[in-house]
Structure 1
Amino acid sequence: MPDTSNFSHSAVIFPVSNLDDSIDFYTNKLGFENTFEWGEPRYYAVVKRGGVGIHLTKRSDGGRASKYHRALYVFVNDVDKVYKEFKAQNVHIVNDIESRDYKMKDFDIEDPDGFIITFGKNSD
């Protein structure tokens, strides 16, 4: 068995077309806090909410987010509360909240660059 004691945590990095718009979306719509910025002019930022951090970097290659695969699954303690909060903020919800056959209750949103983010809780 490999030694896992040296592994601390991970970060997802989303390449975005407009860093200001993305920071605005994550902070004002989803309730994240902008905790770090880098570059002159700025091309990298980190937003956090609770133990969830998302790194945003100015896209330079013209790539597009997948419309078929989730970019991030965020596990929350009260998925109904998060769903209501995001609905009230007019966040683009692409799949409504539902108990799934894979034993999760979750919903999907889309960020300004098309990244699909799922918020869910175990439904057992």
Structure 2
Amino acid sequence: MHKTDDKPLRFGRVAAMLPVHNMARATDFYIGVLGFQNVFQNGDPVGFMILEREGAEIHLTLQPGHKAADFNIAHMMVENVDALHDIIQQQGLRVIKRLQNKDYGLRAFVFEDPDGNRIDVGEPI
């Protein structure tokens, strides 16, 4: 094990970086619909933003040429996954994998945000 001094290696915060085509549309969803708060932004026009809600943190980065991946780019643990699923459906967003109890102990589903980013959402059963 490599150490630069006698301190152990420790990890702190890790947050998903979500590429977005349009920052206003993304914040309408993450702030206006999901209730995240903007705790930092940079650029004029804004090209980077940090959003937080309870223990969750996501970073938005303006990428006008972004093409969404066809795999999950973030996993989000929530309380009351059914309520979030209802919100996603009310917003008319695409559900990739339907809400169901999984054999690995989560009630989960996968949706696409307004920029096509696939987010896997789960709650312990």
Give the number of aligned pairs: 120
Aligned to 1:50: 54
Instruction: State the structure with more CA Rg.
Output: 2
Is the 8 Å Cα contact of residues 16 and 74 (structure 2) preserved in structure 1? Answer: yes
**Counterpart code for 1:110:** E
Q: Does 1:9 align with 2:40?
A: no
TM (normalized to structure 1)? 0.81
The whole-number CA distance in structure 1 between the counterparts of 2:93 and 2:52 is 17
Unaligned runs of 5+ in 2: 3-7
Q: Note the 1:75-114 alignment, pairs <5 A.
A: 75-114=77-116
Identity of aligned residues (%): 32
Distance apart, 1:87 and its partner CA? 3.4
Q: Could you report, residue by residue, the CA deviation over 1:16-75 in whole angstroms, capped at 9, with x for unpaired residues?
A: 111111111111222222222111222111222211111111115x241212x1111111
Distance apart, 1:121 and its partner CA? 1.4
Deviant stretches of 4+, over 6 Å: none
TM (normalized to structure 2)? 0.80
Unaligned runs of 5+ in 1: none
Q: Does 1:74 align with 2:76?
A: yes
Q: Could you report, residue by residue, the CA deviation over 1:94-123 in whole angstroms, capped at 9, with x for unpaired residues?
A: 322101233321011211211011211123
The whole-number CA distance in structure 2 between the counterparts of 1:56 and 1:105 is 26
